[in-house]
Amino acid sequence: RGVDILSWENFGNEWTKDGVQELKLDNLRTFTAPFGELPDLSQIDFNNDVVFTWNGTSSGVMVPDRGAWIPADRGGLTLCDATSCIFGVDLPWDKLDAVSWSWQKVMGGEAAHGMIALSPRAVERLNTFHPDRPIPKVFRMKKNGKINPEPFEGATLNTPSLLCVEDALDGLKWAEDIGGLPVLLGRVQSNFEALSRWVERTPWIDFLATDPKVRSCTSVTLKIVDPAFDGLSEDDLRKTLRRIPKMCEAEGAGYDFSEHRAAPPGFRIWCGATVETSDLEALFPWIEWSFHQIRAELAGEAA
């Protein structure tokens, strides 16, 4: 069966690289887009297996319309990296066949430990497909030619850190105590709306994603649109803008909200469920303060 791989930022690009350079898959098609945009989803052939990230963490772009573009009667499987959206986005589980995520991101846990959810169609594929290439032990999911149920019943290849396990369980207990998934989704939406209101009223900043329908509500990426910065090279702009989070950090107002190193210069502000809306709203004036100080410096240099 053919494979379509979608990518529009560096994490999706890694999946593409795996398919093209490492696995060297036959009948492989790649669909790419620059940071801030999506590939043309209408060109995807769902008779193929389709590999994609739901939310492009470093570009602030996620697929739209709760998966309405994925047909229910598809012939292939959908393989989705949901790392930075699960628990923050209402995912259409009936449209997804193999979903991976970590304990990190929206739940605020340890990044090194991953989870996977498989649909009945994905289980059927595992039971009937026998790869012609060696599979590293950590990725083997079959035993005696059939899917091995033990990992789905709590067995592990090696004992993980039980501190990390307890931290993940504590995060789930917190989520249940505050009202479960609906409340988590509501907290994310409240954060995103607060940030959107700030962007709307702030003339020198904008979303990297120009189409509102594809803007991430968790990993929100922003760009500077002030003409005073137009004369800077990309490297100089990146260095200049990275001073803003450092200035905010020095005041105890915000931490580590520079863009991802592979993304265009700007900011990436996390709006996940563990963030309080009031803390975001307290951050915005500090970003403005830092920005205007740096802008005044640039104006002085230009004079």
> Residue 181 pLDDT > 90, yes or no?
yes
Lowest mean pLDDT among 79-88, 95-104, 135-144, 255-264: 135-144
Q: What are the residue boundaries of the structural domains of the chain, listed by start?
A: 3-102+114-159, 180-302
Helix 243-250 and helix 234-241, axial crossing angle in degrees, nearest 10: 10
Please give the full DSSP string across 221-242, using - where no structure is assigned. EEEE--GGGTTS-HHHHHHHHT
- CB under 8 Å to 247, separation ≥6 — which residues? 286, 289, 290, 293
Residues in the chain: 303
* Per-residue tokens: 60: 């602030």
> Residue 138 pLDDT > 90, yes or no?
no
pLDDT band at 114 (very low <50, low <70, confident <90, very high): confident
> Residue 303 pLDDT > 60, yes or no?
no
Residue 242's CB is within 10 A of a number of other CB atoms, namely 16
Average pLDDT over residues 263-272: 98
Average pLDDT over residues 251-270: 97
pLDDT in tens, 140-176: 899 999 999 998 998 887 888 999 999 999 999 999 9
Structurally, at CATH architecture level, domain 3-102+114-159 sits in 3-Layer(aba) Sandwich (3.40)
Residue 70's CB is within 10 A of a number of other CB atoms, namely 21
pTM strictly above 0.75: yes
pLDDT band at 302 (very low <50, low <70, confident <90, very high): low
CATH superfamily of 180-302: Aspartate Aminotransferase, domain 1 (3.90.1150.10)
CA distance 250 to 236: 21
> Residue 301 pLDDT > 80, yes or no?
no
**What is the phi/psi pair of residue 294, to 5°?**
-70, -40
What letter would DSSP give residue 217? S
List the strands of the sheet with 49-53, edge to edge. 28-32, 3-7, 49-53, 78-81, 98-102, 114-118
